Amino acid sequence: MIPLRDAIPSHSFPAATVLFIGLNVLAFFYELSLGQMLDVFIMRYGAVPLRFILSGQTEQVSTVERFLPLFTSMFLHGGWLHLGGNMLYLWIFGDNVEDRLGHIRFLLFYLACGLAAALTQIYVHPTSKIPMVGASGAVAGVLGAYLVLFPHSRVLALIPIIFFFQVVELPAFLFLVFWFLMQFLNGAVSITGAPYMTGGVAWWAHIGGFASGVALGFLLQKRKRQLWT
């Protein structure tokens, strides 16, 4: 399913959402400029689970060097479709979550979800030598928060039906729960040790990001309600 727009209008300019989209696009164009050096760059600034685990067992790597790739990897992508898909989801769902949380809290929320996503993937596949890149984990956190904050919203989506596409308006709850179930099913397959069956996607990063977004969404929603009483 490809989201086209949601039904909730934003009441403020989504500055942090636009900032994140801009940074991701700029980082991708920088990747394109690297040519043959791209693989070295990705290995250095992508989040490699085994390297993260091993660096925690030695004194040769500083805390900054160990954790920096967990953040830089959020802004790197493996291709145009990877970038475009993540930015589309971020644009459609991010402005409303930012509108509810505020610019600064949304910025911190986004980074926290991205960090939780990377750590979840590392926990599930600690021996992987494949670098993780992409904003998918952080964006998944945005989807989780949207589910909590706007459960009655609706999403206009493009749905493939055999050889055709149909534009359908769906409840946001149904759209997001279906999205999460697809990530979970693929993540369950990845645990079986058959990575070729899951396309090399860091499914557990999506799951961890979404779960952290739901948890933080409930926490921030509860805190806001308390301020109103």
Angle between helices 103-124 and 203-228 (to 10 degrees): 140
* 157 phi and psi angles, rounded to 5 deg: -130, 155
Catalytic residue among 77, 190, 206, 212: 206
Count, residues in the chain: 229
Catalytic residue among 136, 153, 190, 212: 136
For tokens 């929320």, name the residue. Answer: 109
Helices (H), the chain: 15-33, 38-45, 49-55, 63-72, 80-101, 103-124, 136-149, 172-191, 203-228
Residue 48, classed as helix, strand or coil, is coil
206 included as an active-site residue: yes
62 included as an active-site residue: no
Cα–Cα distance for residue pair 140/35, rounded to 1 Å = 30
Q: Which residues are catalytic?
A: 136, 206
